[in-house]
Amino acid sequence: MRRSSTLLLSLAVVGGLTGTLPATASAQGRQDIPQSHPLWANAQAKVADTAPAAKLSFRVYLNQRDNAGAEALAQAVSDPDSKTYRQYLSPDQVRDRFAASDATVNAVKSWLTGNGFSIGEVPSNRAYVEATGTAGQTQQAFDVKLAKYKVKGQTLRAADKNLSVPANLANDVLGVVGVDQATNLFKPDHATGSGTPSDVAPGPGFRNARPCSAYYGEKIDTTDPAYNGKQLPYAPCGYTPAQLRSAYGVDKVGADGKGTTIAIVDAFASPTIYADASTYAKKNDPQHPLKQSQFKQHVFPANPVLEPPDQCDAAGWYGEETLDVEAAHGLAPGADILYVGGESCEDNALDVALNYVIAGHKADIVSNSYGDTGEDIPADEVKVFNQISLQAVLEGIGVYFSSGDNGDEVARLGTPSPDFSASAPWITAVGGTSIAIGKDGKRIFETGWETSKSSLAGGVYGPANYTSGSGGGTSRLFEQPFYQKGVVPDALSTKNQTGHKKGRVVPDISAIGDPNTGFLVGQTQTFPDGAYYDQYRIGGTSLASPVFAGIMAVADSFDHFHHGFINPVIYKLTSRTAAISDVKHVDAAVERVDYANSVDASGGLLTSVRTLDYQGLTIHTTPGYDDVTGLGTPNGLLFLLLV
C-alpha cells in the first residue's frame, strides 16, 4: 500500500511527478498536503479576504490501496508483450482490489461532519467524499485562510498556505480539490482561427466568408497579390465527415464504430445539442444520421449554494460540445455517443464527470477537449487526475485528451511547456495537423499544425505572426513513461529537465486540427436577425481528439475488441510498420477571407495568408517522432489491422 503520509504521486512504472516535496507537520496532530497551495496565491496578488459565510463545495479524494500494484497491472494489461495483455478488470474488481475501504470513507465523513459540513455523493469507486459548507468552516478544518487573488485576468479563491488534515487521516487523503479555484483556468481547446472564443455559438454568430474551397486546391486566388511569388489556394470551407473518413482510410473497411460507446466530457450542456447534431448529419452526411437511440447525455446540475463560476464562457463550452459530438459521430457513425457535462468549468467538476464514466464503465472511449495553460496547477489536481486515469487503464477504457492549441505556450508563459491534462502519462495526448484533402477524398499532404497569419492591407502583406498550433513539449511534472523509452529522441525527452532526467513528451499521435484546413460544424447561433442553425469551419486539438476517438471506435468494431489504453501499442507499431504515417514539414499556405463583423459582408472583408507549419517556435515537425505531431497520424486500413 502506498504510504500517503508523503502524499506523493509515485507512478513507479510510468515515471513520477517530479519535484514533489515531503509532507510537513503544520501543527501538532496535523499534516500538510504537499503543494496544495497555488504559487499564484501570494501577497502581491491578493485582492480581498473571502467572506467567512461564503458557501463552497470541495471533494476529499482518497488514496487507493496498493498503488504500485495498480500501476504494474495497468502496464501489464496495456502492453502487447505482456502475458496479461487486455485482461482488463471490471469496475467491481477495481473497487474490491484497489479502492479505499468503507472504514476509510466513514472516517473522512466523520471528520467532515464534525466540522459542520454536509456530505454529498460518494461514487461507486469510493474515489472521493464530497462536502459543502462555508469558507469559515473550511478555514478551520484545513487550518488556512481563504482569500481572492488576481491571476491570468481572473479573480480566484485560494488558501494562503498548504492545506492540512488531522495526522490520523493523512495516509488516507490523496488530495483536496475545490477549496481553491485554480482549475477555473482550464479552457476548451477549440479554435475558429479568429483568436476569439466568443466567435463560438450560441454566443454571437460566426460564418466563414467566401470565396473558400470545397476541397484543397479547388479555388486559387488570382485577384490578390502573390505571396512569396505564389498564387495560393483559398482555404477549405470546412471538410465534411465523408472527406475525413476517406482521408483517414476508415470509409471502406466494413466497420463504423458500432458496438462501442464514445463518452465526451465537457462543462455544461448545450440546450440545442441533439437538434444541432442531427440536423448537421442530415445536411452533410445523410447516409449516416445521428439516431436518438445513439445519443445520451448525463449532465451534473449546478450546485445552487455555490458562487457563480468566474469567466466560464459557457457559450464557448456549448460550441465545444457541438464540435466534439459532430466530429466523433462523423468519423464513427455507428458508435453510441454519451455526453457527460460537468456542473461548471472548474476541473474539480470535470474530474467528477470523468470519474462518473470510469467508475461505472459507461463508455469504452473518452474524448476530452480541455486543458490548462502549461503545468502550473495544484499537485492535488494532478494526483487526483492520475488516479482516475489509472482506473480507466485497468478497465480497458481509452482516454484521449487534446494537446492544446498554443504550441509550446512560450507566447503565454514565457517558457516552453506542454499542457496538463495532456501531459499525464496514463492518457493519450492527441496533437493537431494541417491537412490537404483533394477532390478524390485522398490526402494530398498532412503537416504539423503551427499557423502564422500575414494580413493583406493596401496591396501589401504584413509580417507573419503565430496564431495557433498543436500543443506539445516536454513535461516538467512527469518522468518519461515506459512506452516512450527508445522511441522519443533524447533531445526531446531531456528538454526542461536537469541532470540526466527524461520527461514525458507530448503529443502521442495526431489528427486534423488546423482551423484553416478545418472541419465544418453546424450549431444554433445568435445572429443580428435572430438565433438559428448555421454552419462554420472550426479546428483545434478539440477537433483532433474526437476525430482520433472516432477512428479508434472504428478500430474497436473492426477488430472486435476494445483497445483500451493505446499508447504502448502505438509506440511499438511505429518502429515496426507503416501503420502510422510520419508527419513531416511541408511548405504550404492558404489564402483566407473573413467577414470583418464575423457574419456578413456589410462590414467589409479581411484577407490574410495563413502559413501552414510555421517554423518560428521551439517545437518543430521533423521526420520521426516530434513534439508537434507525436508519432504521426493513423494510416487507414493498415492502422486498423495492426493496432
Task: Tell me what the pLDDT averaged over the chain comes to.
Answer: 90
User: Looking at the predicted structure, is the pLDDT value of residue 152 above 90?
Assistant: no
Q: Dihedral angle at the C-alpha atoms of 194, 195, 200, 204, nearest 10 degrees?
A: -70
The answer to whether 394 touches 437, Cβ cutoff 8 Å, is no
Read off the pLDDT of residues 476-533 as tens digits, 9 standing for 90 and up: 999 999 999 999 999 999 998 888 899 999 999 999 999 999 999 999 999 999 999 9
C-alpha cell at 249: 482510410
User: What are 354-373's pLDDT values in tens digits?
Assistant: 999 999 999 999 999 998 88
3-state helix, strand and coil shares in percent for the chain, rounded to the nearest 5: 25, 25, 45
Give the integer Cα–Cα distance in Å for 370 and 101: 32
Average pLDDT score over residue span 589-593? 98
163, 169, 175, 181: CA torsion to nearest 10: -40
Q: Which has more pLDDT, 394 or 14?
A: 394
pLDDT at 20: 36
Query: 3-class SS at 169?
Result: helix
176 vs 39, higher pLDDT: 176
CA distance linking residue 564 with residue 470, whole number of Å: 24
Model's pTM, two decimal places?
0.92
pLDDT range class, residue 633, cuts 50, 70, 90:
very high
Q: Are 487 and 574 in contact (CB under 8 A)?
A: yes
Burial per residue of 212-233, b for 16 or more beta-carbon CB atoms within 10 angstroms, e otherwise: bbebbbebebeeeeebeeeebb
Q: Which three cell numbers, joined as nine digits, stand for 114?
A: 464534525
Is residue 8 scored above 50 in pLDDT? no
Among the listed residues 513, 587, 591, 589, the one whose alpha carbon sits nearest the alpha carbon of residue 219: 591
**Above 90 in pLDDT, residue 344?**
no
